[in-house]
Chains A and B, each alone.
Chain A
Amino acid sequence: MDEQLHILTGSYALNALEGDERASFEQHALASEQTREEVRGLSAAAAMLAYGVEPVRPPQRVKDNVMAAIRNTRQVPAEAVVTDGAAGAAQRGHDGGVRPGAGADLRLGTGEGSGPEHGSAAGAGAGTDELGARRGRRSAGSGGSGRARPGGSRPGAVRALAAAAGVLLLAGAGLTGWALGQSTENNRLEQELAQAEQTQGAMLGILTSEDAKVATARMADGAVVSVAYAPSLNQGAVTAHGLPELPAGKTYELWLQHDDVMVPAGLMSGASAGSPMMALLEGQLSGATAVGITVEPAGGSPAPTTEPIMVQEL
């Protein structure tokens, strides 16, 4: 275990790490059950610190603004989440048709009976289907009609959220540092931010899930690539340190091997030159036998055009 990184559990739980530090920590945590366990506990404790502040009633205008804003704000559809058994609670008493808490395998290891002490951060990562709405874009001009939009979202993403939700209270709070002033953000930045937060939120879910399997490979050039897979979430991710910088017009592409077919599983890039890369595996993980990485033309290819630089069996 890397002591230098393990020791960051406390700071991580308090939201006190900066971007690169946090990325390194997360990669380490992926490979260390002991670290993940500690993160779970310390995050639960950190959430309690919020109660150490005296309540202050906000001015009435805040409420007025909020009430006005929600009328134009689309909600994450309850149906989609419930279908996944991720937030059965939301469904209780609705029609009784869905068993609540089906996502219980994602449970925090916070010990029995600790009940009310741990919160959850369901809002942690954004759903793929909600990227744009993520930062509270309140006047999306969508006419406010899409509320409670039914179904049709991607189970994987939703489940990742469920994971982030229960597993790590601070899933949400861990996503700082990508901070940008909301009011001045342009759309592109907003999208990137949402994407980054989503990836991180899902990443947290994976690395704190009880059944995550992690395989780490060191490549000839010294790069370290980890593949993490959490069967209970049907979610996986790849992180890489030290992969060579690619020339303009090239990108790293991820693949899932199903039988003899390589199915595209998303692109992978770093926040800046030399920084660690991290990407969620897109597509159907169950049944996949291996994960591969190739170098492809920018934008990615529908099928690999080069030899993989790495193949990791699942």
Chain B
Amino acid sequence: MRLPWLRPAEPSPPTHEDLVRRVALGDEAAFEELYDAVSPQVFGLIRRVVRDPAQSEEVTQEVFVEVWQQAARFDADRGRAVSWILVIAHRRAVDRIRAAQASADRDLRQGIKEFQESYDDVQDIVEAKIEGERVLKALESLTQAQQEAIRLAYYGGYTQQEVANLLKVPVGTVKTRIRDGMIRLRDKLGVA
């Protein structure tokens, strides 16, 4: 039984999930704290997919405004706040490049080049980032062809048809590579 004069231990800093809960109640300070904590991961992902720095900034803004709006709908029982935000970020990043594409077709050659660069980046993942490491490891357990297709689709934001064009293989092959690779990734990551 706790004696009245004993103070509880120093409260631990709020988790991201706590912050989102407070954001849902309109707490701007909590929002700012959340922004500071997760914006580098969000911006990193968006820049990878969108590539253009100015547009990446815009998309990042959109994402955080959406986080503010939708915070009440986050359910911590189902996953981490960062994952939730990153899912929103990927969707908006892909939205953005597909929109750009409608007006000016993206240069696929350029795509390949950037893809190779992005591949190099992936190798540079900060060691300390446990998830990053796990993801990298899991990705490396796929065949080269599977990795390539998944990286182009996720990090490049390309549709499966575009991936097929880039790799000069039939789209059916791409579908299979992506699916087989994702199944392996799922099993490696133990997410399902």
Q: Which applies to chain B's interface (DSSP): helix, strand, loop or mixed?
A: helix
Besides A16-B160, A87-B24, A114-B191, 11 more A-B contacts (Cβ < 8 Å) are A10-B178, A11-B159, A41-B191, A48-B189, A52-B135, A62-B43, A63-B35, A86-B73, A90-B21, A169-B83, A172-B87
Q: Which of B100-124 contact A (CB under 8 A)?
A: 100, 102, 121-122, 124
Q: Give 1 or 0 for each of B9-45: 1 = CB within 8 Å of chain A CB.
A: 0000000010011001110100110011001111111
Q: Which residues of A contact B42 (CB under 8 A)?
A: 58
**Contact A165 B26, beta carbon cutoff 8 Å:** no
Q: B135 touching A76 by the CB < 8 A rule?
A: no
Most-contacted residue by chain A among B124, B131, B178 (CB, 10 A): B178
Contact, CB under 8 Å: A7 / B179? yes
Contact of A89 among B39, B61, B75, B154 (CB under 8 A): B75
Chain A residues with CB under 8 Å of B39's CB are: 57-58, 62-63
Q: How far is the CB of A88 from chain B (nearest CB, A)?
A: 7
Interface of A is mostly: loop
Interface residues of B (CB under 8 A from A): 17, 20-21, 24-26, 28, 31-32, 35-36, 39-45, 47-48, 57-58, 60-62, 64-80, 82-91, 94-100, 102, 121-122, 124-126, 129, 131-132, 134-136, 138-139, 150, 153-155, 157-161, 163, 174-176, 178-183, 185-186, 189-192
Q: Decide yes or no: A166 and B78 within 8 Å by CB, A52-B132, A73-B65, A179-B94 being known contacts.
A: yes
- Chain B, residue nearest A100 (CB): B77
Of chain B, the residue at the smallest CB distance from A113 is B190
Residues of A within 8 A of B183 (CB): 10, 38, 41-42
Cβ contacts under 8 Å, B62 to chain A: 135-136, 182
On chain B, the residues within 8 Å of A165 by CB distance are 73-75, 78
The segment from A26-34, A77-85, A211-219, A222-230 found at the interface with B is A77-85
User: Within the assembled complex, what's the spacing in Å between the Cα atoms of A177 and B95?
Assistant: 6
Q: State the CA gap A136–B61 with chains docked (Å).
A: 9
A51 adjacent to B135 (CB under 8 Å): yes
Of the listed stretches A102-110, A281-289, A299-307, chain B binds A102-110
Known: A7-B176, A11-B178, A70-B31. A120 touches B24 (CB 8 A): no
Contacts A75-B26, A121-B87 given: A89-B21 contact, CB under 8 Å? yes
CB distance from A235 to the nearest CB of B (A): 15
Residue of A nearest to B126 (CB): A54
- Near B by CB (< 8 A), chain A positions 134-185 give 135-136, 138, 147-148, 161-162, 165-166, 169-170, 172-183
How far does the Cβ of B8 sit from chain A's closest Cβ, in whole Å? 15
On chain B, the residues within 8 Å of A89 by CB distance are: 17, 21, 74-77
B88 A120 Cβ-Cβ under 8 A:
no
Establish whether residues B191 and A166, one from each chain, have CB atoms under 8 Å apart when the complex forms.
no
Please state if A47 and B83 are interface contacts (CB–CB under 8 Å).
yes
Contact of A121 among B17, B21, B84, B191 (CB under 8 A): B84
Say yes or no: A90 contacts B71, CB within 8 Å.
yes
Q: Which residues of A contact B (CB under 8 A)?
A: 7-11, 13-18, 38, 40-42, 44-59, 61-63, 65-67, 69-71, 73-78, 80-82, 86-90, 92-94, 100-101, 103-104, 107-111, 114-123, 130, 133, 135-136, 138, 147-148, 161-162, 165-166, 169-170, 172-183
Chain A neighbourhood of B78, CB < 8 A: 107-108, 118-120, 165-166
A-B contact pairs, 27 of them (CB 8 A): A41-B191, A42-B186, A48-B185, A49-B135, A52-B125, A54-B44, A54-B125, A55-B126, A56-B40, A58-B60, A66-B60, A66-B61, A73-B65, A75-B24, A89-B77, A92-B21, A101-B77, A119-B78, A119-B83, A122-B84, A123-B67, A123-B84, A147-B26, A173-B87, A173-B91, A178-B95, A183-B58
Query: Which among B134, B154, B159 is the interface contact of A17 at CB below 8 angstroms?
Result: B159
Please tell me which one of the listed residues A38, A59, A92, A172 contacts residue B88 in the complex, with CB atoms under 8 A apart: A172
Q: Which residues of A contact B71 (CB under 8 A)?
A: 75-76, 78, 90
In the bound complex, do residue A45 and residue B186 qualify as a contact, i.e. CB atoms below 8 Å apart? yes
Question: Which listed residue, A46, A48, A75, touches B131 by the CB 8 Å rule?
Answer: A48
Contact flag A123-B70 (CB < 8 Å), given A57-B39, A90-B24: yes
Question: Closest chain A residue to B17 by CB distance?
Answer: A89
